[in-house]
Structure 1
Amino acid sequence: MGAMSHLVTARDLAHEIEDVVVIDVRWTLTTPGQEQPGPAEYAAGHVPGAFFVDLDTELAAPPGEGGRHPLPEPAVVEGTLRRCGVSERTRVVVYDGRESYAAARAWWVFRWAGLEDVRVLDGGFAAWVRAGLPVSTEVPEVHHGGFVARPGSMPTVDAHGAADVARSGLLLDARAPERYAGEQEPIDPVAGHIPGAVSAPTAAWLAEDGTFRADLAAHAAEVLGQHNGPVAAYCGSGVTAAHAVLALAEGGVDAALYPGSWSEWIRDPRRPVATGPGPGRPSLG
């Protein structure tokens, strides 16, 4: 573990809640076109004082050439954080329903935009409720923070960079093993993975209750194995890959994010596609 954790427990958040800005980013991984229940869940009850931020519209740009969840415009992130009362030195805690997939995306996007002190509520809203802490339905008033976005504060790779990392370092595919292998693809039109990438499902970083497992450093060492060089992560659209980057950071490993991920990779038919349970050999897909 590094000297400073990017996670906070429900009990610790309760003790410091008056000194931080809390942001609710509940979002469910579903197939395109299905309704996201985040706003309804927030309205039904949330951490007291928490602001709701929408992943699809405030933590991502519209789908397109950059994939299903391209990076948002810096001005959008700046406006989102300002309405939550965030300035340069504000301490922020983000959470989602349980597993912190969406919260990790918020953690990554806010840090990419230049906000330094961002942590994730480990175990999400479920952990807060499980701890017997109070729940509110009150919506806080819009604030007027002074945050100024400085994009590029977290490392990224594009498609060319991801291919380079797959050859010279370690490119982790955070999707479920069956999607990596090309056996199932419920969302994107092409199945498989980036040639040379290694399957590292993001669910493996979690304990049964949705919190991050206690042995993150040991698991990170197991995932990295004997690989040397740069490390990067991708998934379907850059959401769960941010979760892998967060887990690696907790384990003491710096990793870049491929924001476009698989949904951008396959937009160019000239890019090779591999299938099977291992890195395998590529075929044009």
Structure 2
Amino acid sequence: MPGEPTATGPLLTAGELATRLQTTAQHSGAVPVLLDVRWDLGGGADPDGFAAAHVPGAFFCDLEAVLSGPGAPDGTDGRHPIPHPGDVRTWLRAHRITPGDPVVVMDGGHGAGAARGWWVLRDAGQQDVRVLDGGLRAWRAAGLPLEQGPAAAPVATDDLPAPSAEFREAPGALPRATAPQLRGGLPAGTAGLDARPAARYRGEELGPDPVGGHLPGFRSLPVADLYSDGVLRDPEEVRARLADAGVDATTPVVVSCGSGITACQVALAHQQVFPGAPEPVLYPPSFSGWLAGGHPLATGAEPGTMPPA
């Protein structure tokens, strides 16, 4: 089922992916579908970068058009609202990807786009989604082959058979937190983690938001503390950093960031180092949506406390 943790964690190294592709091709197994979410914070989707070099056979997946959807006019869904699962499934069908196909998501190497794809695809009902650790940068560094060319055109959905029952599931396979829930304060024993840079968390830098700060009660855990150049740090180091934020394998976790993208990297790291543990719950609007809703903010290095509603 989508969202169920795997025994080995969701990350694959470049060597592991290359072996899997070769082995399944030789033995007529289910060859993984490769999706390249080439995207940079501040720069947007990068189809030109994909066309210049990508893993052979990969499809380009636009984070802005496919992995984000329209949100509330007042901005309370954040800068990158989660798309409706039905829209994601339509895109998958147009690329002849079925719910049971194994999928490996990657990006240029920063990791944010791939992690967002990992979360959104599973939310849309995709059952087996992994992530290439380090993305194209790691694949290239391993000396593995590359391909050039633009993204493949999707098949018109009118030319496809009716969607299977698996693609007609109720939307939203993964749990998520809402602003009203968080406004009431985090439940006892639950850790709230903020993936943004520490200076934005403290309120010293604004980034794309008009003011800085963080959700009261959330602790700072920047993505850079868990990854180095888009590659997950040593598992013991990641577990230690999570422990510093009050998280072990049994801790309920809510993750947030600026707009619901890098928070997925924290969830991904958690699932890699705590395979089988309950998955962190995403607050999709994150700081941008929280701010648009006029909710209380905290500043400084300490989490602070949510004031009474």
| Fold agreement, TM-score > 0.5 | yes
Is the deviation greater in 108-117 or in 228-237? 228-237
Contact kept, 8 Å, 2:109 with 2:134, in 1: the verdict is yes
State how far apart, in whole Å, the 2-side matches of 1:230 and 1:267 are. Answer: 26
Match status 1:51 vs 2:59:
yes
Q: 2:76 — aligned with what?
A: 65
Q: 2:231 — aligned with what?
A: 211
Q: Shift of residue 155 of structure 1?
A: 1.6
Q: Shift of residue 40 of structure 1?
A: 1.1
Match status 1:23 vs 2:23:
no
Q: 1:264 — aligned with what?
A: 289
- Which residue among 145, 153, 159 is the counterpart of 1:134? 145
Q: Shift of residue 65 of structure 1?
A: 3.2
Q: Report SS of the residue matched to 1:148.
A: helix
Q: Shift of residue 214 of structure 1?
A: 2.0
The 5 Å alignment of 1:109-128 reads: 109-128=120-139
State how far apart, in whole Å, the 2-side matches of 1:135 and 1:229 are. Answer: 41
1:60-104 CA-partner distances (Å, limit 9, x unpaired):
113533110111022220022122321121000000111211100
Q: Shift of residue 15 of structure 1?
A: 2.3
Residues 164 and 6 of structure 1, relative CA distance in 2, 3 Å threshold:
farther
Is the deviation greater in 220-229 or in 112-121? 220-229
Give the unaligned 5+ runs of structure 2.
26-30
User: 2:20 is matched by which residue type in structure 1?
Assistant: E
Q: Shift of residue 140 of structure 1?
A: 4.0
Q: Shift of residue 226 of structure 1?
A: 8.0
Q: Shift of residue 218 of structure 1?
A: 4.0
Q: Report SS of the residue matched to 1:272.
A: coil
Match status 1:250 vs 2:272:
yes
Residues 225 and 76 of structure 1, relative CA distance in 2, 3 Å threshold:
closer
Q: 1:175 — aligned with what?
A: 196
Q: 1:148 — aligned with what?
A: 167
- Which residue among 219, 223, 226 is the counterpart of 1:202? 223
1:148-168 CA-partner distances (Å, limit 9, x unpaired):
164322121011223446352
Q: 1:42 — aligned with what?
A: 50
Residues 225 and 136 of structure 1, relative CA distance in 2, 3 Å threshold:
closer
Contact kept, 8 Å, 1:171 with 1:198, in 2: the verdict is yes
User: 1:14 is matched by which residue type in structure 2?
Assistant: A
Contact kept, 8 Å, 2:252 with 2:280, in 1: the verdict is yes
Q: Report SS of the residue matched to 1:56.
A: coil
Q: Report SS of the residue matched to 2:44.
A: coil
Is the deviation greater in 40-49 or in 146-155? 146-155
User: 2:143 is matched by which residue type in structure 1?
Assistant: G
RMSD in angstroms over aligned alpha carbons?
2.4
* TM-score of the pair, normalised by structure 1: 0.89
State how far apart, in whole Å, the 1-side matches of 2:231 and 2:116 are. Answer: 16
Match status 1:85 vs 2:96:
yes
1:6-33 CA-partner distances (Å, limit 9, x unpaired):
0111112122334110000010001xxx
* TM-score of the pair, normalised by structure 2: 0.82
Give the unaligned 5+ runs of structure 1.
none
